[in-house]
Amino acid sequence: MRTGLMIGAGSDQDSSLEGLIKLSKRAEQAGFDNLWMANVFSLDAITTLALIGRETSRIELGTAVVPSYPRHPAALAQQCLTAAVACNGRFTLGLGLSHQLVIENMFGLSYDKPARHMKEYLQALLPMLNGEAAAHNGELYRVNCKFDVPGFKPVPVIVAALGDTMLKLAGTMTAGTTTWMTGPRALADHIIPSICQAAEAAGKPAPRIVCGLPIALTDDVDAAREKIAKGLQIYGMLPSYRAMLDKEGVTGPADVSMLGDEANLREKIRHLRDIGVTDFNAAIMSVEDGGFERTLAFLESELTS
């Protein structure tokens, strides 16, 4: 199982562009396999990762995730192809639907039939990311173009998929899935078997399972749980994450967060590997003074153990 780091999250992080570049250089030197960045209401994730790609040489750089709705497939393809060149082929696009709250209430776009939207979006996008011409004429998108990018590097795609339809789509059309706020029981009983079955039926290689979870090294688990429950409360309310928490049989985000001492965290990470997670995306939570640095140092030490 590869170990990655979520950047741009955690109150102890310097989330400025320079701060993220500095952290990324440290992560590469420490031996992390990949870095993931969500495209939220701050720095643009693809642009940031492209810049980080110019300052690093080995580590994989990916989005977790970029919402599809605000970007036309051709615009996203062009941006991703440019980022892939900047990263010398180390860029992976994590793509997602986002949520009705964001797409309709904030962006003013329709969130009608999101799975149909994603299927058409991928049909238009994937050829362009492979250096081919898009020739898609559907209900939602009509895309007929190709990009000639000097130094072209193909861009692999993984999709944030939680429900049955999206998991089938991800397994059939893309390289895998990236999850957030989804615990080991839901992964083992639902996510992993569903997407693997879809990939096998489509004659595709075993899919990547990128699992993003909050993590904190702490001796005061109760206080950490209370802080995370308050800080990440929204994720227990959004329908897609709520469904996964219900499958897990837990109340909220704090219940799937990885909290505890070194031995406890080590066991939880090992369990993810054992159930078939291919990439652990560690989202370090600052639950106490100095907590971010201590958790990062622990993860660094595990890379060489």
| Token code pair at residue 296 | 């990062």
pLDDT in tens, 138-197: 999 999 999 999 999 999 999 999 999 999 999 999 999 999 999 999 999 999 999 999
Going by C-alpha positions, the residue among 35, 54, 58 that lies closest to residue 45 is 35
Mean pLDDT of 6-32: 89
Is 83 among the domain residues? yes
Backbone angles phi, psi at 14, to 5 degrees: -85, 105
Say if residue 8's pLDDT is above 90: no
Is 232 among the domain residues? no
Q: What is the pLDDT of residue 12?
A: 63
Q: What is the number of structural domains in the chain?
A: 1
User: Is 183 within 8 Å of 212 (Cβ atoms)?
Assistant: no
Question: What is the distance between the alpha carbons of residues 116 and 280, in angstroms, rounded to a whole number?
Answer: 29
Tell the residue number behind the tokens 């153990």, with chain if given.
305
Is 241 among the domain residues? no
Is 228 among the domain residues? no
pTM, two decimal places: 0.97
pLDDT in tens, 202-226: 999 999 999 999 999 999 999 999 9
- Whole domain around residue 275: which residue ranges? 2-223+257-303
Backbone angles phi, psi at 300, to 5 degrees: -60, -40
Q: Is the dihedral of CA 145, 150, 152, 155 positive or negative?
A: negative
Can you list the positions of beta strands (E) in 147-300? 157-159, 176-180, 208-217, 258-260, 279-284
Question: What is the distance between the alpha carbons of residues 148 and 87, in angstroms, rounded to a whole number?
Answer: 17
SS3 content of the chain, % helix, strand, coil (to 5): 50, 15, 35
**Gyration radius of the chain's alpha carbons:** 19
Is 22 among the domain residues? yes
User: Is 13 within 8 Å of 19 (Cβ atoms)?
Assistant: yes
| Token code pair at residue 186 | 């839901």
Is 238 among the domain residues? no
Is 239 among the domain residues? no
pLDDT in tens, 79-133: 999 999 999 999 999 999 999 999 999 999 999 999 999 999 999 999 999 999 9
H or E element: which one contains 164?
helix 164-173
Say if residue 13's pLDDT is above 90: no
CATH number of the domain enclosing 90: 3.20.20.30
Is 234 among the domain residues? no
Say if residue 9's pLDDT is above 80: no
Q: How many CB atoms lie within 10 A of CB 22?
A: 13
- 277 contact partners, CB below 8 Å, separation of at least 6: 1, 187, 192, 209, 210, 211
User: Is 239 within 8 Å of 181 (Cβ atoms)?
Assistant: no
